[in-house]
A and B are shown apart, each in its own frame.
Chain A
C-alpha cells in the first residue's frame, strides 16, 4: 500500500520521532515500497492456522516472591541525563 504524507506524520507522532520534511518524503516513498512488497502476505490463506505456542506449565515454574536485585539509587541514576535528588528530572509535564 502507499502511505500518504499525513499517515507518515501520524505514525511519526505515535512513535515520538521528529522528522524533517526530507525525512517525511523519503519515508513516504521507502515505507510505501516496503509495504508494497509486504502486501503479498494478503495472498496467503492463513485464516485458520494460528496456533498458540506451547507455554511453560504450572505456577511452580514462576519466580518466588522474594526481594532481590535492587540496584540502589546510585546505580539507578548513573546513566541519567538529569537528576534531582534521587529522582530522574525532566521538563515540567503539564496535565
Chain B
C-alpha cells in the first residue's frame, strides 16, 4: 500500500485499521535511514488513530483522510507538539495553537505522525540548512531530497506516511517533489491559509501537499484550502472543483515558455519536458511556444523581495518572549545580538543581512522598490500568456538532484537552482510538479505545470492526464 487513496480505500473496506496503519508507519519512521522527521508524536498519532477507528465503527468517518497517517513540515504549528522551523532559535518551542491547516487536517480525521525536517525557516533548496540534521533522498541516499520541504518529500517517498504538507516560497514543495519522484502542489497565493505557518516571505509563502499521486494531492488540497477568517489574505474564491480531475486534456492549450529552457540545463531534463509536451499533444492538447520575457529577472527579484520580508518576519526572534536566549546577557544589546547570532544559522543570517540592506535608507529604492516593480512585470507576463494558453509547462528544476554537500559553499549557485520555480510564487500562481521522466541514472525528472490564479482545477486535471499516460513509478532504496 503506497498511496493515500489506497490507504483510504483499505480503511473504508475494513481491510485495515487506522491504529494498525499508524503503528506500521511509526515503526518505519523510527527506523528511517533518511532523516525525514525531526519529531514523531507517537502518543498523539496513536490516540487520533484510535479515535478514527472508533468513528468508523460508529459509521461516523468524516472523509477520505479519516485515519490516514500524514506528516507536516516542521514550520507548520501544532498545538503542544514541538515546532522548530529547523532552527536552533525555536528548539523545544511548543506552540499554544494549531495552524489553520493543522486544525483542518485534524477536523478531516487525519493522523498526524510528526514533524518533518526542512531548511531553517524554509531557506534553502537541499534541506542541508536544517540546524538539526540532513535529510537524504530516499531514491538515492547520497543525494539531496531537495528543499526546503525535503523532510516532507522524504517521508512520503520513503513511504513512512501517505502524504505530507510542505510550504513553498520559491519552489520548496515542487523542487523536492521533483527530486523524490512525487507530486507537489503550491496553491495560488491566498488559496490556503497561512495562519500558524512560520513566516519566511509572507507575500510568497503558501502551504501545499506532497503526495504520490495527483489524486492524493488533490484530496489534500481539498482538505486545507479555502477562506480563513484568521488570514486576511486568504481568498474567497470557490473551492477547487475536483469532479473535473478525470476530464482529460482534449482542447487544452499548453504553453511551453522558451525562457524556461535555461543555460546550463541538464539535457535529459529538457528532453523529458519536450517529451511530456508531446504526450499531452497525443492526448488531445495543443502545445505552443510562448514567451515570458521577464523570467530572467525572477531570480534577482526573488532574492531581493524574499530576504526583505524575511528580515522583517524574523525580527520577532529576539529572545524576549520565546525562543533561544543567550546565556546571561548583560545588556539589551547583548540579549538581542547574541541570542540572534546563536539562534540563527548561516543561510538565515545571510538572508536577514541581505533583506535588511535592501530595505535600508538609501538603498530601498534601488532594491526593494525596484524589485516590487519588476515583480509586477513578471505578473503581467503571465496575465498575457494566460490569455492564449490554459497551462504553462516547464521543467521544475534545471538539474537532477545533486550530491549532498555539493553546492553548500556557494550560496549564489544554490540560488540559481530555483530559477524555474520562483516566477510562480512571484506571480501568485498555482504550480504543480509531477514526475515526467527517468534520467539515465534512474533519478526522477520533474515537470512543472503553472495555471491561472485560483485555477488549480486545470493544473490538476492536466497533471492527472499526464501522470496516467506516463505511468512512472519510483521506489525508495533500502529495505523499507
Q: Would you call B297 and A44 a contact (CB within 8 A)? A: yes
Q: Would you call A40 and B349 a contact (CB within 8 A)? A: no
* Interface assignment of B6: CB less than 8 Å from any CB of chain A: no
Q: Would you call A40 and B297 a contact (CB within 8 A)? A: yes
Given known A-B contacts A16-B340, A44-B374, A47-B373, A38 and B367 have beta carbons under 8 A apart: yes
| Complex: A16 Cα to B329 Cα, angstroms | 14
Docked complex: B68-108 residues within 8 A CB-CB of A: 93-94, 96-97
B320 touches which of A17, A33, A76, A90 (Cβ 8 Å): A90
Q: Would you call B353 and A17 a contact (CB within 8 A)? A: yes
Residues of A within 8 A of B221 (CB): none
| Complex: A15 Cα to B358 Cα, angstroms | 12
Of B59-67, B160-168, B252-260, B299-307, the segment with at least 4 beta carbons within 8 Å of chain A is B299-307
A16-B337, A44-B297, A81-B322 known; 19 other A-B pairs, CB under 8 Å?
Answer: A3-B357, A11-B356, A14-B356, A14-B360, A15-B311, A17-B341, A17-B344, A19-B341, A30-B411, A37-B303, A41-B367, A44-B373, A46-B370, A46-B374, A71-B97, A79-B323, A81-B324, A90-B329, A91-B329
B371 touches which of A14, A41, A51, A79 (Cβ 8 Å): A41
Instruction: Count contacts on A: residues with CB < 8 A to the other chain.
Output: 45
Main secondary structure of the interface of B (DSSP, over half): helix
Interface string of A35-59 (1 = CB under 8 A from B): 1011111101011011100001000
| Complex: A16 Cα to B411 Cα, angstroms | 22
* Interface assignment of B335: CB less than 8 Å from any CB of chain A: yes
- A sample of 23 cross-chain residue pairs with beta-carbon separation below 8 angstroms, ordered by A number, consists of A7-B357, A16-B333, A16-B340, A17-B353, A18-B337, A27-B349, A30-B350, A31-B353, A31-B357, A34-B354, A34-B412, A37-B300, A37-B303, A42-B366, A44-B377, A46-B373, A49-B373, A49-B380, A51-B376, A71-B96, A79-B322, A81-B324, A93-B332
**How many residue pairs bridge A and B at CB < 8 Å?**
133
Residues of A within 8 A of B324 (CB): 81
| Complex: A23 Cα to B347 Cα, angstroms | 12
Identify the 9 closest CB pairs spanning chains A and B, nearest first. A79-B322, A46-B373, A81-B325, A18-B337, A16-B336, A18-B341, A75-B96, A15-B356, A38-B300
| Complex: A39 Cα to B325 Cα, angstroms | 36
Chain B residue with the shortest CB-CB distance to A80: B321
Given known A-B contacts A34-B303, A91-B335, A42 and B322 have beta carbons under 8 A apart: no
Q: Would you call B94 and A41 a contact (CB within 8 A)? A: no
CB distance from A88 to the nearest CB of B (A): 5
B373 touches which of A14, A15, A17, A50 (Cβ 8 Å): A50
* Interface assignment of B318: CB less than 8 Å from any CB of chain A: yes
Residues of B within 8 A of A79 (CB): 93-94, 321-323
Q: Would you call B370 and A81 a contact (CB within 8 A)? A: no
* Interface assignment of B476: CB less than 8 Å from any CB of chain A: no
| Complex: A81 Cα to B335 Cα, angstroms | 11
Residues of A within 8 A of B96 (CB): 71, 75-76, 78
Docked complex: A1-16 residues within 8 A CB-CB of B: 3, 7-8, 10-12, 14-16
Given known A-B contacts A41-B297, A91-B331, A50 and B319 have beta carbons under 8 A apart: no
Docked complex: B343-366 residues within 8 A CB-CB of A: 344, 346, 349-350, 352-354, 356-357, 360, 366
Chain A residue with the shortest CB-CB distance to B304: A38
